[in-house]
Structure 1
Amino acid sequence: MIPFKSLATALIFWGQQQTAQYLSIIHFDNEQFGMYQQHQIKTFIEDLQYNLYGNTHSINPSAAHTDKIVTQVRMKILNWLGFNADLYTVIFIPGLPAALKLIYIRQSVEGQFGMFASNNNNINAQIEDIQNKAHIFLDISSIASTIPIAISKIAVNTKIQSNILSYNSEVDYVFFSLDRIFGIPLQGLSVLVAKDSAMNIFDKTYFGGGTVTLSLAEESFKQWRPLVCSRFEDGTVPFLSIVSADHGFQTLDSMIRSGMNRLDIMQEIFKHTQSLYHWAVQELGLLKHTNGQHICRVINSYEKDDYIQNNNIILHQPLFSFDLLDVDGLEFSQEQVIIIAERCNISLGTSIAHPNKKSIRVSLGYLNTFNDIEALISFVTFHFKNISIQQFNSFFHIHFKSSS
């Protein structure tokens, strides 16, 4: 039985319509990059055809129009995450390293920070001790497109590698990449949502274009722009990417039916992707060779120590890893599996699920369908059932390696 299938029917139809430009490719790497949609691309191109956008540091009409859209996107982000615009600000930033540099590298404040024990390459959350006050930093990139949570009310419970043993309070910094949500064609647009009170302790010792209203070369003097976000966005923000993000939000809003709000559609997306997750994990776990040996060893992401809790409901991202095993229980090469999957128009990801060992990763998005899961199960069954490592290597060498 497929849980929540009736709730997902509209999303399945939507996904099939909006991914027609690459229906031949099944995308299972949503944690790294979301699928952009036909509607979003169409409206974005039409917008560029009929409207002129200019640098927001200018004062001409095109610059004013751009500044209006940029401000609207900031507000949409705050509303989407449940933040009070009077207390938090949105800073557009190139990526996670830049966000961490902005927070941690400064001259006047010394502090310590710890990180979750379960972190690998990505920083999911960090706790910072500045001037005897704990600050929390969350990277929500992997969950923002599928989990309906008001981040401002979040509680984090986990093991901390630091002198700080626990943390349960308001969030000070939230980071995420918009291209992982909307699959924005113009990459490199990330967001740091920061509490104004946390940013005001920064003693910034450098400045770029657009961050000051006045500076003097003869003496060390500068006058910061009044808005908090303007002080920390050195140079011109990628305004066309921000315009594209606006069309991403519009596309998401177009899925909202009468009587619903954005949180409601995120609830449906959550149920849909969780249904896909549970069904995929269940069906892959049931696959066996004729001799009874399991074909898949599923590594359930729900077993991690850290989790996000909202209104006492534990919410997990629809992501899992798995290894493929031959008739003798030996693991197939993860690299070879990825290559064969790509030739079959299935795009998979990788993860470090074991110490020093990569596994195959499936991260689901709201445009994935049950047909996608069926295709994955058929792919695994067709290529790996009742096959030994030796037979597989010979097959791979003849049909794939020679033509790669």
Structure 2
Amino acid sequence: MPTMEYNDDVEEMQDEEYPMLQGATYLDHGGATIYAKSLVDTFAKDLIANLYGNPHSANAPAKLSGQLVDDTREKTLRFFGADPEHYDLIFVANATAAIKLVMESFKDLSTTSKLVDGHEGGFRYFYHIDCHNSVIGVRETTDDNHYCFRNDAEVAQWLAGKSSENNEGVKLGLFAYPGQSNMTGRRLPLSWPGMLRKSDHISHQDTYSLLDAAALATSYPLNEVFRDPETAPDFTSLSFYKIFGYPDLGALIVRKESGRILQWGRRYFGGGTVDAVTVLGKKPFFKNRETLHESLEDGTLPFHNIIALNAAIDTHERLYGPDPMTTISRHTSFLGKMLYVKMSSLVHPNGVSVCKIYTNPAESTYGDSTTQGATVAFNVVSADGSFVPYTSVVETLADERKIYVRSGQLCNPGGIASNLGYDTWHLKRLVANGHRCGAAHITGTEIVKGKPTGVVRVSLGAMTTIANIDSLINFLQEDRKPSLYTEKPSVSFYSSAQEHSSDSSSDSTPGADSPASSLTAHSSTSNLPSSTSHHHQQRLSTALSYQAFNDSAVAMGNPIEERKVEDEKKGFQKMFGKKSGRRGIIGV
């Protein structure tokens, strides 16, 4: 198992390098990590000291910009352990833009009726269930010629040529998957691209691989990905703000041997990508530039951001050592295991776990950086086994304490569905009755018949400290006050719908062991922050009383799918348990 080691240097550099973190516990590094003060200072001094022009011009300021862009491109490849002899790097806005660039190239090639190097028109798309929405979206350009692998075993079967998806002959194809789940932090096998390339099965010929490394690159050395060009992905997407905090920039790293497929069919060209263009005559002409990145980087590059990237790499190596990503990987693995162990040990006095953590020990192990990143996806559970609303209560209360996490569906519909136990028709029904990604706390659909529709995510980064872990654990421990286990608790998310309506005027004042700032007290809409609107209070009240999906809602959603009400009731009973006078306790 790879080494784990806490980097206590981060505690010494906090005040000087990360002053914006004073008094805050930032635990959303999977969204964006934090930039160092010295990075901003270095970049600002560079801009003041030098005159940079548009790299497409030929004057001295333009040449200075162009040279620094070229130097930074090579420097970035080497930072990731990607030999510039075998790889090229295309600057884009973010990881999504990198994925979209690959998609557009494949789509353009697939729409031609001509045979291109043996490729028949159209392309097949394969993707893993744990993909981010930005990867899933590629399927909509394939004319329904796509397949989602439900698990790793299905991928292995396909790679072995034993899947029904292997029945088609030679055809242009693309296989995409995340290096790390942006939901659970599980790290998927990096061996798949090499296995695909080495396969002699006819259905794998001319099928390329796309690795979404946005989450992985945050705290993992990508030299493990690019060490051997023969086993590396054909295309790798990533975002630099997830690694350095700044700049807001992304990249597509391409195996040079695979790059031709991006150039062949691409129809659009922008400024700087062509050697010649004509505009008159019946057959207008254009000639793309030969160099891969020059032919795909449309228009003027964000050269100021690229200059900032140059400073970001230098800063990272100065703060975290000559091999910064290995140092960060060991540090975050240490903290990730600590967090997981501490969260797993939190139990109510009656033995019920405080946190439902979504992980599969058979697939990943906290502390093993090859199988698990420093990310924990979970839901808070009350003493009676019911789930606590993940945004309106957990994230809101954490936010008040300056503990910053993320909650919701995380743009990972497959991960949410598989971990929370939803089938496709369940999710369609949720949408039919108002559920929206990122807005469940507004639409009243965080908890549906006792079942959560999203999670809370904690993700660690290079500058996370043990004190940050302790802050989160102390916050979660507030949910274990003795007053929660009385027969009639205060008006809160622990009350059933009937209790909420009949006992709201009874003696429900929190006791000394249940302060107004605790998870319990804030579950009542009367304890919402003063800035909360009346409309939001109404929506939240709906969520807390679990009335968003009653039997009538089933009938209301009937036009979406032509099903009989009775069939829907049976489905919901199977999904949530038969209706009773109290909420059901579920196990996900």
Give the match for residue 270 of structure 1.
329
Give the match for residue 528 of structure 2.
400
- The alignment status of 1:354 with 2:420, answered yes or no, reads yes
- The alignment status of 1:119 with 2:246, answered yes or no, reads no
Give the match for residue 195 of structure 1.
255
Q: CA deviation at 1:379?
A: 1.1
SS in 2 for 1:144: helix
Q: CA deviation at 1:370?
A: 0.5
* Residue of 233, 242, 254 corresponding to 1:171: 233
SS in 2 for 1:281: helix
Q: CA deviation at 1:76?
A: 1.9
Q: 2:258 is aligned with what amino acid?
A: A
Q: Is the 8 A contact 1:91 1:193 kept in 2?
A: yes
Give the match for residue 318 of structure 1.
374
Percent identity over the alignment?
23
Which protein shows a greater Rg?
A: 2
**Matches of residues 140-289 of structure 1 in structure 2 within 5 Å?**
140-150=213-223, 151-153=225-227, 169-184=231-246, 186-187=247-248, 189-201=249-261, 202-218=264-280, 219-255=283-319, 257=321, 261-262=322-323, 265-289=324-348
Q: Is the 8 A contact 2:92 2:251 kept in 1?
A: yes
Q: CA deviation at 1:355?
A: 4.0
SS in 2 for 1:403: coil
Give the match for residue 164 of structure 1.
none
Partner Cα distance (1:131, 1:204) in 2: 22
Q: Is the 8 A contact 1:19 1:37 kept in 2?
A: yes
Q: 1:191 is aligned with what amino acid?
A: A
Q: CA deviation at 1:111?
A: 2.4
Deviations 1:187-221 (A, max 9, x none): 3x210011223222323222111111321112422
Q: 1:92 is aligned with what amino acid?
A: F
Deviations 1:359-388 (A, max 9, x none): 111111011010100010111112554436
SS in 1 for 2:29: coil
Deviations 1:272-294 (A, max 9, x none): 10111111111111112223222
Partner Cα distance (1:284, 1:198) in 2: 44
Q: CA deviation at 1:317?
A: 1.5
**Structure 2: 5+ residue stretches without partners:** 113-118, 136-175, 179-192, 197-201, 411-415, 423-452, 496-509, 511-518, 533-588
Q: CA deviation at 1:35?
A: 0.8
Give the match for residue 105 of structure 1.
107
Q: CA deviation at 1:234?
A: 0.8
For the aligned residue pairs, the C-alpha RMSD in angstroms reads 2.9
Give the match for residue 38 of structure 2.
39
Q: 1:114 is aligned with what amino acid?
A: F
Q: CA deviation at 1:174?
A: 0.6
Give the match for residue 93 of structure 2.
94
Q: Is the 8 A contact 1:210 1:233 kept in 2?
A: yes
Partner Cα distance (2:245, 2:385) in 1: 38
Give the match for residue 356 of structure 2.
297
Q: Is the 8 A contact 2:375 2:458 kept in 1?
A: yes
CA pair 76-245 structure 1, distance change in 2 beyond 3 A: same
Q: CA deviation at 1:99?
A: 2.6
Partner Cα distance (2:362, 2:373) in 1: 12
Q: Is the 8 A contact 2:378 2:457 kept in 1?
A: yes
SS in 1 for 2:76: helix
Q: 2:37 is aligned with what amino acid?
A: Q
Give the match for residue 49 of structure 1.
48
Where relative contact order (Cα < 8 A, 6+ residues apart) is larger, the structure is: 1
Partner Cα distance (2:531, 2:19) in 1: 28
Give the match for residue 584 of structure 2.
none
Partner Cα distance (2:473, 2:101) in 1: 44
- The alignment status of 1:76 with 2:136, answered yes or no, reads no
Partner Cα distance (1:252, 1:277) in 2: 21
User: Which deviates further from its counterpart, 386-395 or 90-99?
Assistant: 386-395
Partner Cα distance (2:59, 2:24) in 1: 44
Partner Cα distance (1:34, 1:71) in 2: 26
- The alignment status of 1:328 with 2:402, answered yes or no, reads no
Q: Is the 8 A contact 1:302 1:316 kept in 2?
A: no
SS in 2 for 1:255: helix
Q: 2:270 is aligned with what amino acid?
A: G
CA pair 154-298 structure 1, distance change in 2 beyond 3 A: farther
Q: Is the 8 A contact 2:99 2:134 kept in 1?
A: no
Partner Cα distance (1:299, 1:217) in 2: 57
Partner Cα distance (1:60, 1:337) in 2: 56
CA pair 25-275 structure 1, distance change in 2 beyond 3 A: same
Partner Cα distance (1:69, 1:130) in 2: 43
User: Which deviates further from its counterpart, 371-380 or 220-229?
Assistant: 220-229
Higher strand share: 1
Q: Is the 8 A contact 1:106 1:203 kept in 2?
A: yes
SS in 1 for 2:373: coil
Aligned residues: 378
Q: CA deviation at 1:17?
A: 3.5
Q: TM-score, normalised by structure 2?
A: 0.59
SS in 1 for 2:258: helix
Deviations 1:67-109 (A, max 9, x none): 1221122112211222221222110112344333322222356
SS in 1 for 2:358: strand
Q: 1:403 is aligned with what amino acid?
A: S
Partner Cα distance (1:213, 1:38) in 2: 41
